[in-house]
A and B are shown apart, each in its own frame.
Chain A
Amino acid sequence: MEKKGRGEILVIDDQPIMLKLLEQILKDRYDVVSLENGREALEWMYSGNIPDLVVADLNMPEIDGFEYIQKIRESGFFYDVPLIVLSGEESSTERIKCLKLGANDYLIKPFNPEELRLRIDNLIRLKG
């Protein structure tokens, strides 16, 4: 897939309303690809697409966020793609589990859009 020169963010959430919200928040700075679960995301990535950063929910059908993080961190292609978990799970147990699996950051819904944008900018800058 041809990139337009801007960063490309993959957002994964099974709630259409959350995908539309994230597209609105990020569209001015990034190209946004929206997918509804971890399986769709893995298929898209293994079709040759490497996003500059992933924003992923945890509770999704088919392949959930935990399994998705594990699979991309075990991959030889995607192990270093920055990943932010954006979840309604508020417990520190879930946050620690994600960080141990290799997530770079974790935000709890409801979130401050500017905080998400800044965290994305920082992670992309660090990787760049």
Chain B
Amino acid sequence: MADRVYDLIQLEELSGGDQDFINMMVDTFLEHTPGQLEELIKAQASNDMVTFGAISHKIKPNIDMFGIKKIIQDIRDLEQLGKAGQNNSELQTKLANVKAELTIAFEQLRQR
């Protein structure tokens, strides 16, 4: 199995290890974030960069909260590129990184 791409240490620390709370947060993350990722991809494909920036902004704290370290900077860059209306190769590369890493995180969190 691939190395774990997420880290729940922040949630464990602030809840004092309350597994019910951690499970609820994981469920909420899995309920909402895959749909937000799809919206992000659609916004880029349709060159709707206002929406792209806004959705990047919404996903950003979730990536922080779940310790998906590899894309913590990428999602920030996507937010800024989106707000600047720069639907360019840099944005597309970073979006591909975010999509790949989040897809792995979703699968690993579903199986935890």
A residues with CB within 8 A of B: 14-18, 20-21, 24-25, 59, 88-89, 109-110, 113
Contact = CB atoms under 8 A, between A and B. Distances in A.
Interface residues of B, number: 19
Contact of B15 (A16, A17, A24): A24
A59 B28 contact: no
A25 B18 CA distance: 12
A18 B29 CA distance: 10
A109 B64 contact: yes
B54 A110 contact: no
Contacts of A20: 24-25, 28
Interface stretch (B40-48, B55-63, B86-94, B101-109): B55-63
Contacts of A89: 57
A25 B57 contact: no
A21 B58 contact: no
Contact of B61 (A15, A16, A24): A15
Contacts of A113: 14
Given A24-B21, A88-B61, 18 more contacts: A15-B58, A16-B28, A16-B31, A16-B32, A17-B28, A17-B32, A20-B24, A20-B25, A20-B28, A21-B65, A24-B14, A24-B15, A24-B18, A59-B54, A88-B60, A89-B57, A109-B60, A110-B65
